[in-house]
Structure 1
Amino acid sequence: MKLNYIKTYLAVVILSFGMTSCLDDLDQTPLDPDSSTELDVFANEQEAKGALAKLYAALALTGQEGPAGNPDIGGIDEGTSQFTRMHYTHQVLTTDEAVVGWGDPGLPDFHAMSWGAGNDFVTGLWFRLAQEVSFTNSFIDKAGQLDSQEVTHFIAEARFLRAYAYSVLLDVYGDVPIVTQVSAELPTQSSRVEVFNFVESELLDLVAGLKEPGANEYGRVDKAAAWALLSRMYLNAEVYTGTPRYNDAVTYSEMVINSSYQINMNDANGNGTAYDELFLADNDTNGAQNEFIFPVRFDGINSRTYGGTTFLIHGATGGDMDPSALGINGGWDGMRTTKALVEKFQASQYDADGYPIAWSDKRAMFYTTDHSYEIGVIPNAFQDGYAVVKFSNLKSDGTRGSDDTFTDTDLALIRLSEVYLNYAEAVLRGGGGDTGTAVNLINELRTRAYGDASGNINTSSLTLDFILDERARELYWEGFRRTDLIRYDLFTTGNYLWPFKGGVPTGTSVPSYRKLFPIPTDAMVANPNYVQNPGY
């Protein structure tokens, strides 16, 4: 893969996003005499495929050398800056799904909902997403000069990755600049509505260039990915634009549901559920891959990072837990969950103090030994709050991944289960569709979760509140919770409190402007055209 040209070309594009201060080592010459030039990178179809790989890799990796040493982005710890790790910080740590005991400057502010525009993590996610936009713009421009049907597919994939990056930018920051070509001019922000319209139009247009569902290599997107992202966008359209689009959410959910993707029911390790296969080190081959519409791929030998599932597994391990039980060599004593998430699952066994320690719903993957149900303070000891053992570096046969530090476990950014839940919620919100179908889809997920039909529901149980809780049960720690709570008007209000929401042990409401993160100070300084989000 020819990375050096792309890194050099990024310097010009990133300027237009207003972020030069956080780019590291971006000179205008190759890094060594043997480095490839722009002409080499796009000389033919095979070379262009190597450049396409960098667009996908930019969501998984952090630099040019592996886990650390030559970062794409400077000004922030390289491992911390990895995309899915930054996304988790914004989408999960701000909610009832997780707390973290680390006291890194700015990190406790997320669960306390007290971040500011100078927060390193707020800044880091902005930069990481802008980098992806920059990479994709560069690729689209240069690959378009090749006359090849396969390269046409490559370009459609690059446009999807750009649209995905913008879907996160509009969700997290609101008004952001739309940059689609290389330019040194400083752009102005587009409104959140304009960004939504851009992402929608891109997805509707690019889908024709994508391969049919299931026809692409595992890890690369196809038509179903575009339909699924549209389903997600339309479900949240009322938040983003003020106009509900639940009928469109139903339509595009149906297109994905009727495609070749399937809910994984392959209980490869024989423990009574196929749910945990989704989060094991062989989830690219154990059946989970049939459910993964858009995964980020990780490999303990060839794609090392301190983010991704390495972060999710090591960071969630500590205290007296046995790291080898999760296929790793040690824990980082980091993230745990709050009782508010645990309470979403119906308990089947309690300890002597009346706290739940076992559940019929096998999605409740918590480590409770010597852990308190209640959380005392934050930052805190690792044993405060139940640990989460959802992600593992073990394979279905019980052997560990290729390395016990850097994990092999892939992470789905879009999987079919989400689309099932999108459909059910959109139906309940008046988007058409069929209630009976929605119940059947939910029961398919719950049959997998319970190992039988004992957890199935009927039509009368299918309510919006139930769907919100079911999304938590099915998708926790996968990066959805903040967006879901905002859609239900529960993120900032006092209508739903969880431990230490707003920095208060029992939880409290926070100002509504916290539904968006601020434009980072560094970006505001670099681009005087930007207008800060209200409240910051």
Structure 2
Amino acid sequence: MKISFKKISFLFLVILGLNLAFTSCTSDLDVTPEDDDEFLSEDFFKSPDSYKQVLAKLYAGMYVGGNDGDASPDISGIGGDFSSYLRLLFVVQEFTTDEAVIAWADGSLPTMNTQTWGPSNEFLYGVYSRSFYQISLANEFLRQTTDEKLAERNVDAALKTEIAAFRAEARFLRAFDYVQLMDLFGNVPITTEADPVGIYNPVQKSRAEVFAFVESELKDIDNSLVASKANEYGRVDKTAAKFLLAQIYLNAKVYIGTAKNTEAVALCGEIINNSGYTFADVPYKYLFSADNNTNGAQSEFIFPVISDGNLIRATGAGVSFIIHASIGGSMNGSDYGMDGGWQGIRTRKEFVQLFPDETATGDKRGTFYTTGQTLDINNIGSFTNGYAVTKFTNKKSDGGLAQRNDIPDTDFPVFRLSDVYLMYAEAILRGGTGGDLNAAVGYINKLRTRAGASTITSGDLNLNFILDERGRELFWECHRRTDLIRFDKFTGSTKLWQWKGGVKNGTSTESYRNLMPIPATTIQANPTLIQNTGY
């Protein structure tokens, strides 16, 4: 992970310590400029390096919650550790499902375990605010990099070319933010660089309008993004945009009521055959080790959130949160390259039962820690209730130590090629045309062979198998809630797991919970917003 871009990103945040804040497009964020004479001012942009520094801030928001790691949070009223984008996505995508449960009783966190959340939930406010904060950051960067602005500053031709690619990356990251908002909250405002700066009430748009905006943006930036595999590691390229577009097409029936599986098949096939990203033919554990940027795993990482124990000061954010919080009971933190555990995250019985055994014998992806742990969760607040998960580690793939043991080096794969294989197969099964079912079987067997699991035939391939296989391959990678909703198994009684609905053995939950409530604080700040049904 020793690349110039990452150093720019985190040295910019940690060493320069600039106290970045923006006047939000929505007053609920309450993030106002504290040093606007220094950052994003005309003087700031006189330096040719400033453009890449601001782009770095956009990427860094995926991991850290503020300009000094956990300190100096971007979002007023939420700590930098709690407001890390990756941490928040883990909370909403994992704790709400069969894949994870957390022992802690911080604020409204327990309601995420039981699908009993409400509009006052501060973690939902956190992910809503983080998304719009990142959007406001991207919008201001785009305002400051127009042709007119660059001409005023006499920016040379070579830098202008580079900035054109930066702008496309900023638009991609903004589209990513809107996908999270659309997925979680449905109808949300759309703001762009064309909107005014300052506190005002943006108009709420329908989920279909947000979908159309994201679709248009991702198609439009294809001409400006760097070619596939040609960008620095950790930055997006044309393939990342194709992946995100394929992802929303696969979920289009949920988002807009119209299936777009044929479009998903085409994009997935393009990525598989023409992107240059290749299946990582290494042990599965390599993908989640401290050297996963160099051990061969990186060949399938289309969009990773990069980590560095020496450059990041974010003990409670990102992968540091995931690894720290998943260590407890009789586990020894040093076995996972860490200085200890926080006794928090485990998995639920029903997820363990997706694997042929509990010892990773029949499927090496089923990495559970069972010593002193019970399979049943009688008490959510007790770490030893529920099997622990050892998927992510801060040790290198050869067992060697990372740079330090308090903050990990392990990168988080937001998009990877293995997911494309699974999306391709699912889109075909959902009626998408133009694909090859036999090829899809072959792609899935690559995953299963790497995991030491038995291979399948086309007769085994159905939607229920795909959902289970997505769980086995992609668990704890922030996909589960979205997947369960797409398969109509998140709410209701079709699929139950322990403590769903607040009952030990699980119970049916209301279908309106497929959408999260728009945070009450947000509606107080912008009374034009309409709350989602049921809340």
Correspondence for 2:296: 287
* Contact kept? 2:402, 2:409, Cα under 8 Å: yes
User: How many Å apart are 1:410 and its aligned residue?
Assistant: 0.7
* Contact kept? 1:6, 1:138, Cα under 8 Å: no
* Contact kept? 2:20, 2:74, Cα under 8 Å: no
Distance 1:44 1:431, change over 3 A: farther
Take 2:39 and 2:451, find their aligned partners in 1: how far apart are those partners? 49
Where in structure 2 are the equivalents of 1:26-425 lying within 5 Å? 26-27=33-34, 29-30=36-37, 35-36=38-39, 38-43=41-46, 45-68=48-71, 70-144=72-146, 145-146=149-150, 148-181=160-193, 182-183=195-196, 184=198, 185-258=200-273, 259-266=275-282, 274-305=283-314, 306-347=316-357, 356-378=358-380, 380-425=381-426
Distance 1:39 1:5, change over 3 A: farther
Distance 1:358 1:444, change over 3 A: closer
* Contact kept? 1:237, 1:243, Cα under 8 Å: yes
Correspondence for 1:351: none
User: How many Å apart are 1:370 and its aligned residue?
Assistant: 1.2
User: How many Å apart are 1:212 and its aligned residue?
Assistant: 1.1
**Runs of 5+ in structure 2 lacking a partner?**
1-7, 151-156
Correspondence for 1:271: none
- Other structure's SS at 1:64 match: strand
* Contact kept? 1:133, 1:162, Cα under 8 Å: yes
Amino acid at match of 1:223: K
User: How many Å apart are 1:36 and its aligned residue?
Assistant: 5.0
Take 1:444 and 1:40, find their aligned partners in 2: how far apart are those partners? 53
* Contact kept? 1:265, 1:448, Cα under 8 Å: yes
Amino acid at match of 2:485: I
* Contact kept? 1:86, 1:121, Cα under 8 Å: yes
Amino acid at match of 1:496: K
Correspondence for 1:430: 431
Take 1:496 and 1:36, find their aligned partners in 2: how far apart are those partners? 50
Take 1:344 and 1:474, find their aligned partners in 2: how far apart are those partners? 11
CA RMSD of aligned residues (A): 1.7
* Contact kept? 1:41, 1:51, Cα under 8 Å: no
User: How many Å apart are 1:403 and its aligned residue?
Assistant: 1.6
Amino acid at match of 1:469: D
Amino acid at match of 1:519: I
Take 1:408 and 1:45, find their aligned partners in 2: how far apart are those partners? 30
- Other structure's SS at 1:260 match: coil
Take 1:395 and 1:54, find their aligned partners in 2: how far apart are those partners? 27
- Other structure's SS at 1:231 match: helix
Where in structure 2 are the equivalents of 1:493-512 lying within 5 Å? 493-512=492-511
Q: Which string of whole-angstrom CA distances, capped at 9 and with x for unpartnered residues, describes residues 174-194 of structure 1? A: 001000025233211100000
* Contact kept? 2:18, 2:39, Cα under 8 Å: no
Amino acid at match of 1:263: F
Q: Which string of whole-angstrom CA distances, capped at 9 and with x for unpartnered residues, describes residues 86-127 of structure 1? A: 111101000000111111120110111111111110101111
- Other structure's SS at 1:290 match: helix
Q: Which moved more, 1:37-46 or 1:504-513?
A: 37-46
* Contact kept? 1:17, 1:177, Cα under 8 Å: no
Amino acid at match of 2:279: I
Distance 1:231 1:7, change over 3 A: farther
Q: Which moved more, 1:396-405 or 1:203-212?
A: 396-405
Correspondence for 1:352: none
Take 2:123 and 2:417, find their aligned partners in 1: how far apart are those partners? 29
User: How many Å apart are 1:67 and its aligned residue?
Assistant: 2.6
Take 1:135 and 1:7, find their aligned partners in 2: how far apart are those partners? 13
User: How many Å apart are 1:18 and its aligned residue?
Assistant: 3.4
Take 2:145 and 2:337, find their aligned partners in 1: how far apart are those partners? 40
Q: Which string of whole-angstrom CA distances, capped at 9 and with x for unpartnered residues, describes residues 352-400 of structure 1? A: xxxx44432101111011111111022x211111000000000122122
Correspondence for 1:522: 521
* Contact kept? 1:80, 1:307, Cα under 8 Å: yes
Correspondence for 1:449: 451
* Contact kept? 1:232, 1:249, Cα under 8 Å: yes
Distance 1:486 1:240, change over 3 A: same
User: How many Å apart are 1:319 and its aligned residue?
Assistant: 1.0
* Contact kept? 1:175, 1:190, Cα under 8 Å: yes
Take 1:362 and 1:9, find their aligned partners in 2: how far apart are those partners? 45
Amino acid at match of 1:126: Y
Take 2:437 and 2:173, find their aligned partners in 1: how far apart are those partners? 33
* Contact kept? 2:426, 2:466, Cα under 8 Å: yes
Correspondence for 2:4: none
Work out the percentage of aligned pairs sharing the same amino acid: 47
User: How many Å apart are 1:74 and its aligned residue?
Assistant: 2.1
Take 1:482 and 1:474, find their aligned partners in 2: how far apart are those partners? 15
Distance 1:290 1:45, change over 3 A: farther
Distance 1:7 1:254, change over 3 A: farther
Take 2:52 and 2:376, find their aligned partners in 1: how far apart are those partners? 50
- Other structure's SS at 2:204 match: coil
Q: Which string of whole-angstrom CA distances, capped at 9 and with x for unpartnered residues, describes residues 46-94 of structure 1? A: 32111111110111111122232x1111212321111111111101000
- Other structure's SS at 1:359 match: coil
Amino acid at match of 1:120: E
Q: Which string of whole-angstrom CA distances, capped at 9 and with x for unpartnered residues, describes residues 29-53 of structure 1? A: 44xxxx4552244335432111111
**Runs of 5+ in structure 1 lacking a partner?**
267-273, 348-355
* Contact kept? 2:103, 2:345, Cα under 8 Å: yes
Distance 1:9 1:310, change over 3 A: closer
Take 2:397 and 2:499, find their aligned partners in 1: how far apart are those partners? 36
TM-score, scaled relative to structure 2? 0.92
Correspondence for 2:469: 470
- Report how many residues are paired: 507
User: How many Å apart are 1:340 and its aligned residue?
Assistant: 0.8
Correspondence for 1:19: 28
- Other structure's SS at 2:68 match: coil
Correspondence for 2:530: 531
- Other structure's SS at 1:364 match: coil
Amino acid at match of 1:323: G
Q: Which string of whole-angstrom CA distances, capped at 9 and with x for unpartnered residues, describes residues 126-182 of structure 1? A: 111111101111111112233511111110000000000101110001001000025
* Contact kept? 2:64, 2:80, Cα under 8 Å: no
* Contact kept? 1:40, 1:47, Cα under 8 Å: no
